Amino acid sequence: MTGTKTGIHRETRMTKYLTTTALALSMLGGAAMAEPVKVGMITTLSGGGASLGIDTRDGFMLAVEEAGNPDLEVHIEDDQRKPEVAVQLSDEMIQSEDVDVLTGIVWSNLAMAVVPGAVRQGKFYLSTNAAPSQLAGKGCHENYFSVSYQNDNLHEAAGQYATDEGFGRMFIMAPNYPAGQDSLSGFKRFYEGEVANEVYTQLGQTDYAAEIAQIRDSGADALFFFLPGGMGISFMKQWAEAGIDMPVVGPAFSFSQDILPAIGEAAVGVKNTAQWSKDIDNEANAQFVEAFQAKYDRLPSLYAAQGYDTARLLLSAMDKADISDADAFREALRAAEFDSVRGDFAFGPNQHPVQDIYVREVISEEGQLTNKIVATAMEDRGDAYAEECSM
């Protein structure tokens, strides 16, 4: 396990460095009144899905550094995209490091392994990305906040967009795992046309020749697909090669800034749905996009924006309440009084966002591929599970 260990060591070293800096700063500030808040960030920093975790971390840490709040300590660890590692890390953070807040998990299956246990032990969990339906409905919890969305949201918006565009027959496709099944049912919830065919691919599949032949043969008006990460890169390249003239719609995950360069020109023109885009016109967003580029020398992705907002939410609560008073702190989180990079942002009754969801188009801008908002798919969208949550 040599390679992985060094990865963890690097993170631990970084944690130590940040902790020392925070401590040094707190001494400079004299007698700090508030109790420090310890945050444990568990995210994917190695292996196939690392680019998502790295963007989450970088967005989060950008907000932390900008705030310069000496009472905030962040411990960062790598879950290697493995549920068992994530559980082990959260146990360690809760029991020996005594963190107050956990955050950072990218994948829904890891979130399901960690979140219920953590919130039961009285810790807060702020989700930077994963928001499975199980935690939005019956399994909702007063200490669990999703700052990103509810998993179905972007798929629902794609369904709404397909309806608005008047696509009469859609070919829909997702990997065969819980988030993939949620994706297709989310899409169908708001799509009023006919489904020409629905196809489940294998999780981690990289060759889509068979599916592309089926799509060509189906005679559908348009294609909806959800294939996060490397799966989406492979699919889009092969799709472009096949030269099929059919509009493509999908959630933002396959057209996020972290993977657009790998897809290349093949992505141009694709419509994708997201609750954030770098061209949303507000002061917080303009400042975020500029600061992120200045610090990391690349454009921020959706995950970076979600990480950034999560940290800003936490900091806003820290200004208003002390972490030792959990009820007051929870109220401060619920109020969500921070300038979100998404503009309007509020929590619904199950502590998931109520927000606008946009349709973006992939464009080529100054030699770089990026997204531009072309329409608003849904306004003030909450989620389908809020009613089942009794909180």
Q: Which is nearer to another protein, 333 or 369 (CB)?
A: 369
Please tell me whether residue 36 adopts helix, strand or coil conformation.
coil
Strands (DSSP E) found in the chain: 37-43, 72-78, 101-103, 124-127, 144-146, 169-175, 194-201, 222-225, 248-251, 271-274, 346-347, 353-365, 368-381
- DSSP label at 277? -
CA dihedral sign of residues 348, 352, 355, 358: negative
Output the smallest distance, CB 7 to another protein, in A: 7
Only one of the segments 245-253, 254-262, 330-338, 371-379 lies at the binding site for another protein (rule: CB under 8 A); that segment is 254-262
User: Is residue 246 within the footprint of another protein (CB under 8 A)?
Assistant: no
Interacting positions 166-195 with another protein (CB under 8 A): 176, 181, 195
Q: Which is nearer to another protein, 3 or 30 (CB)?
A: 3
Nearest to 256 by CA among 172, 353, 371: 371
Cα–Cα distance measured from residue 114 to residue 25, given in angstroms and rounded to the nearest whole number:
32
Q: Which residues have a Cβ under 8 Å from the Cβ of 380 and sit 6 or more positions away?
A: 344, 354, 355, 356
- DSSP label at 343? B
User: Is residue 204 within the footprint of another protein (CB under 8 A)?
Assistant: yes
Q: Scanning the structure block, which residue is given the tokens 């072309």?
A: 374
Cα–Cα distance measured from residue 7 to residue 77, given in angstroms and rounded to the nearest whole number:
9
Only one of the segments 46-54, 63-71, 142-150, 331-339 lies at the binding site for another protein (rule: CB under 8 A); that segment is 46-54
Q: How many residues bind another protein (CB under 8 A)?
A: 46
Nearest to 371 by CA among 270, 298, 230, 239: 270
**Site string (88-117) toward another protein, x via CB under 8 A:** ------------------------------
Indicate which single residue of 214, 330, 339, 346 sits in contact with another protein (rule: CB under 8 A): 214
Only one of the segments 57-65, 206-214, 313-321, 372-380 lies at the binding site for another protein (rule: CB under 8 A); that segment is 206-214
Q: What are phi and psi of 369, to 5 degrees?
A: -85, 135
User: Is residue 368 within the footprint of another protein (CB under 8 A)?
Assistant: no
Output the smallest distance, CB 144 to another protein, in A: 28
Indicate which single residue of 23, 24, 27, 209 sits in contact with another protein (rule: CB under 8 A): 209
User: Is residue 259 within the footprint of another protein (CB under 8 A)?
Assistant: yes
Token duo for residue 272:
């994708």
Strands (DSSP E) found in 203-332: 222-225, 248-251, 271-274
Q: Which is nearer to another protein, 36 or 53 (CB)?
A: 53
Indicate which single residue of 178, 230, 247, 343 sits in contact with another protein (rule: CB under 8 A): 230
Only one of the segments 91-99, 258-266, 318-326, 372-380 lies at the binding site for another protein (rule: CB under 8 A); that segment is 258-266
- DSSP label at 254? G
- For the beta sheet containing 101-103, the strands, ordered from the edge strand earlier in sequence to the opposite edge, are 72-78, 37-43, 101-103, 124-127, 144-146
Indicate which single residue of 78, 100, 182, 211 sits in contact with another protein (rule: CB under 8 A): 211
Interacting positions 261-290 with another protein (CB under 8 A): 261-264, 266
Output the smallest distance, CB 231 to another protein, in A: 8
User: Is residue 26 within the footprint of another protein (CB under 8 A)?
Assistant: no
Q: Which is nearer to another protein, 54 or 280 (CB)?
A: 54
Binding site for another protein (CB under 8 A): 1-4, 6-7, 45-48, 50-51, 54, 176, 181, 195, 198-202, 204, 206-207, 209-211, 213-214, 216-217, 230, 233-234, 237-238, 241-243, 258-259, 261-264, 266
